[in-house]
Amino acid sequence: MTTFSHKLNEQIAYEFAASQQYIAIAVHYDAETLPQLAAHFYQQAVEERNHAMMMVQYLLDSGEKVVVPAVAAPQVDFADDVAPVALALEQERRVTAQISELAITAREAGDLVAEQFMHWFLQEQREEVSSMSALLQVMERLRDNIMLVEEYLAREAGGESPLEQGAPPAAGGAL
């Protein structure tokens, strides 16, 4: 297994862990009867799961071994309704660093196909950090009236990101 493949398998674990964390955040907001926040994070969970499956498909297509990982339990208790979004932003920043490291690993190995594969994820991470930063700013500003955050998310809910149209294929298709 190449170094890139080994690290990509590790990233699959990180993506599944991120998905689990987003489910835990969504459940927190669901329990607080905040359906827009819950829906936002359930969708984020699906995106992270799909990222993992894109990586699985890449490894399959490359003839490399896929290691289906175990993941640690996510954080489920939060001090207030702002804390989960702060955790999500921290997670997105960490994943951005991991994805950047994967792109560097591919470049240093001269694996242009792997490097090109990582470029989509780099763009995706830029968008994720930006949108989560904006949500955190809104949450902090409206912490005393979280229902206004619900209105904000309802207003901002749009269609699929144009970035998604160019996404790599995911193992299992669009399940």
Domain ranges within the chain, ordered by starting residue? 3-165
What's the CATH code, domain 3-165?
1.20.1260.10
Per the CB < 8 A criterion, the answer to whether 80 and 143 are in contact is yes
pLDDT value of residue 167: 79
Q: List the structure tokens of 30.
A: 């669901």
> What is the pTM assigned to this prediction?
0.90
pLDDT value of residue 65: 96
SS (H, E, C) the chain: CCHHHHHHHHHHHHHHHHHHHHHHHHHHHHHCCCHHHHHHHHHHHHHHHHHHHHHHHHHHHCCCCCCCCCCCCCCCCCCCCCHHHHHHHHHHHHHHHHHHHHHHHHHHCCCHHHHHHHHHHHHHHHHHHHHHHHHHHHHHHCCCCCHHHHHHHHHHCCCCCHHHHCCCCCCCCCC
∠ CA(71), CA(76), CA(80), 5° rounding? Answer: 145
Low-confidence ranges of the chain (pLDDT < 50): none
Distance between CA 165 and CA 154 in Å, rounded? 23
Q: List the structure tokens of 1.
A: 């297994």
Distance between CA 115 and CA 105 in Å, rounded? 8
